[in-house]
Amino acid sequence: MQRFLSFLTVLGFLFFQVAWAEEKQPDQVLKEMMGEVLTTLSSDESYRTDTAKLNQLVEKNIFPHINFRRMTALAVGRDWRKATEEEKTRLTNAFTALLVRTYSNALANYGNEKVVYKPVKMSEGVTEVLAKIEIQQPGSKPVNFDTRLEKKEGTWKVYDVAVEGISLVTNYRDQFAQTLKKGGFPALIDLLENQSQSLINKK
Amino acid sequence: MRFFFCLLGFLSCCAWAEENLENIEKNSESTVENRDSWEAFNRKMFKVHTVVYKSVVKPVAQTYGKIVPLPVHVSLNNAFSNPTDLWVGANNLLQGKPKSAGSDVLRFLINSTLGIFGVFDVASEMGIAKNDEDFGQTLAVWGVPPGKYLFIPGIGPKYTRDAIGWLVDSNPLWWVISPIRARNIALGVNALETTVQILPLYQMVEESGIDPYVMIRESYFQRRNNQIWDGEAPITEEEDDYSKE
Complex ipTM: 0.77
B235-to-A156, A166, B122, B229, B241 alpha-carbon distances in Å = 21, 13, 34, 11, 16
Specify the higher pLDDT residue, B131 or B10.
B131
**A136-140, A193-197, B136-140 — most confident range:** B136-140
Q: Does B78 touch chain A (CB under 8 A)?
A: yes
For residue A73, give the nearest of B74, B231, B243 by CB distance: B243
Q: Give the integer Cα–Cα distance in Å for A67 and A160.
A: 9
**CA separation for the pair B59, B64 (Å, rounded):** 9
Contact B81 A140 (CB under 8 A): yes
Number of helices (H) and strands (E) in chain B: give both, helices first.
11, 2
Q: What is the pLDDT of residue B110?
A: 97
Query: Are residues B207 and A102 in contact, defined by beta-carbon separation less than 8 angstroms?
Result: yes
Mean confidence (pLDDT) of chain A: 84
HSE-up of residue A165 (Cα within 13 Å, Cβ side): 18
Model pLDDT, residue B3: 45
- Rounded Cα gap, residues B229 and B223, in angstroms: 10
Give B210 to chain A, closest Cα distance, Å.
Answer: 7
Sign of the alpha-carbon dihedral angle for B125, B65, B134, B168: positive
Say which range, A29-38, B44-53, B132-141, has the weakest mean pLDDT.
Answer: A29-38
Give exposure, A118-150, as e/b (b: 16+ Cβ within 10 Å): eebebeeeeeebbbbbbeebbbbebebbbbbbb
Q: How many CB pairs under 8 A join A and B?
A: 93
Q: Which of A24, A14, A63, A58 is nearest to A40 (CA)?
A: A58
Q: A197 CB near a chain B CB, below 8 Å? A: no
**B133-183 pLDDT per residue, tens:** 999 999 999 999 999 999 999 999 999 999 999 999 989 999 888 889 999
Asked if A73 reaches chain B (Cβ–Cβ under 8 Å), the answer is yes
Q: Are A145 and A163 a contacting pair, CB within 8 Å? A: yes
Vertex B78 angle, CA B71 and B165, to 5°: 140
What is the pLDDT averaged over residues A162-182? 89
| Disruptive mutation site among B80, B121, B210 for chain A (greatest number of A CBs within 10 Å) | B210
Which among B132, B200, B214 is the nearest to A175, CB-wise?
A: B214
Question: pLDDT, tens digit, for every residue of A34-69?
Answer: 888 888 888 888 888 888 888 888 888 898 999 999
